[in-house]
Amino acid sequence: MVNAETKTAKEFDIIQQHFSNINFDSSGSTEIGIGDDAAVLSLSQLQQDSSKLLVSADMLCEGTHFLSTTDPSTLGYKSLAVNISDILAMGGDPKLFTLCISLPEPNNLWLEAFAHGLTQAAKQYGLSLIGGDTTRGPLSISIQIFGTTDKPILRSGAQVGDLVVVTGTLGDAAGGLDFILDPALAANFADDFQIHVQYLQDRHECPTPRAGLTQGFDIHAAIDISDGLIPDLTHICNASGVAAALNVDALPISGSLLGANDHAVAKALVGGEDYELCLAIPPSIWPELQARAKELGILITHVGDIIPSTDRTVTVRGWSEQKLDGVINQGFVHFK
């Protein structure tokens, strides 16, 4: 059934009712938020803060990015967190976002829970919601996020000799997804291991964008690890015209993943949705960056090096490509 109109008083009520108190940005750049044809931002106010505006957009669809059984509060948190991660990967401060959401029906309980998770993420990282759209349709969420920075970190700046460093532990989200897709799998593990199963699921459902790490440093290139370390580092290599070599023994892998998964190393190399940062940095800043990470309580690990390009690939020292095939073929590519 086609409705002739796309915006209604009722729709407006949904946004007002559930989302209008998401307002944690203190920069004062929003002159008009939700409620008119468009939000109005003061460019001079934004410019007081920084010289560049960063804009990124992501769409999450039920059945592709999350299951119908996903807790809506968790989904609300993650929807914003994955966008925050994009801004952090550019060296920016996340500030504002818009939300478009389609729902099969206006389920108030669902909306309240979703808004709760979304609000948590917004509050934690200091963002405000400035507008959006609510409509009827298969469940999907489209968020567009704005951040500011004076010095964007691009994918294209990696230089031969740079260290490749990553935050957090890798592969946990992919390991957690196994348990989410097949809950019976957890029964293979002893009771005292269930806390690790839960940890891995949490890492999939509730990533931790790594705020505050990169500002003020001469980071050459950055990306957030959404597709997996090798695929994302390959983006850096392609954009920068370099290659990279990873040291398999250096990969930061959690005890939970090592205990839960026979393919922990492969998950760490190509598992997606960790939303950790992968940086290419000059060796000279490594000590200070480590100190900053320690202050922030963020694990940071030197996992490899940028090397001269032969064909812009990522190789793994101490590892064979064959071992990856099984994991790579598990369908991590949309539209293959």
CA distance 300 to 291: 10
Cβ nearer to a copy of itself, comparing 108 with 294: 108
Q: How many residues bind a copy of itself (CB under 8 A)?
A: 102
Cβ nearer to a copy of itself, comparing 231 with 304: 231
Cβ nearer to a copy of itself, comparing 297 with 334: 334
**Residues 316-335, interacting with a copy of itself (CB under 8 A):** 330-335
Cβ nearer to a copy of itself, comparing 41 with 293: 41
- Binds a copy of itself (CB under 8 A): choice among 16, 20, 42, 329: 42
The yes or no reply on residue 37 touching a copy of itself (CB under 8 A) is yes
User: What is the longest distance spanned by two Cα atoms in the chain?
Assistant: 62
Type of residue found at 38: A
Cβ nearer to a copy of itself, comparing 5 with 191: 5
Q: What is the DSSP string of 291-309?
A: HHHHHHT--EEEEEEEE--
Residue 152 CB, nearest distance to a copy of itself (Å)? 5
Tracing tokens 């492969």 back to the chain, one arrives at: 266
- Binds a copy of itself (CB under 8 A): choice among 26, 109, 181, 191: 181
- Binds a copy of itself (CB under 8 A): choice among 117, 168, 272, 304: 272
Measured CA angle at 128 (ends 122, 131), to 5 deg = 120
202: tokens are: 């949490």
Pairing of the two strands 93-103 and 128-136: parallel
CA distance 148 to 152: 9
Q: Which of the ranges 62-70, 190-198, 210-218, 247-255 carries the binding residues for a copy of itself, by CB under 8 A?
A: 62-70
85 with 209: CB under 8 angstroms?
yes
**Residues 75-134, interacting with a copy of itself (CB under 8 A):** 82, 86-87, 89-90, 92, 98-102, 105-106, 130-134
Measured CA angle at 42 (ends 38, 47), to 5 deg = 135
**Residues 184-243, interacting with a copy of itself (CB under 8 A):** 222-224, 226-228, 231, 234-235, 239
- Binds a copy of itself (CB under 8 A): choice among 4, 109, 187, 190: 4
**Residues 251-270, interacting with a copy of itself (CB under 8 A):** none
The yes or no reply on residue 43 touching a copy of itself (CB under 8 A) is yes
Residue 199 CB, nearest distance to a copy of itself (Å)? 17
The yes or no reply on residue 72 touching a copy of itself (CB under 8 A) is no
The yes or no reply on residue 71 touching a copy of itself (CB under 8 A) is no
Residue 144 CB, nearest distance to a copy of itself (Å)? 4
Tracing tokens 């206006």 back to the chain, one arrives at: 106
Half-sphere exposure of 258 (CA within 13 A, CB side): 6
**Residues 274-313, interacting with a copy of itself (CB under 8 A):** none
Contacts with 158 (C-beta within 8 Å, 6 or more apart), sequence order? 220, 221, 236, 237, 239, 240, 242, 244, 280, 306
- Kindly calculate the radius of gyration of the chain based on its CA atoms and give it in whole angstroms: 21
**DSSP 8-state code for residue 193:** G
For residue 126, give the 3-state DSSP assignment.
coil
CA distance 82 to 65: 12
- Binds a copy of itself (CB under 8 A): choice among 113, 115, 163, 180: 180
Cβ nearer to a copy of itself, comparing 36 with 192: 36
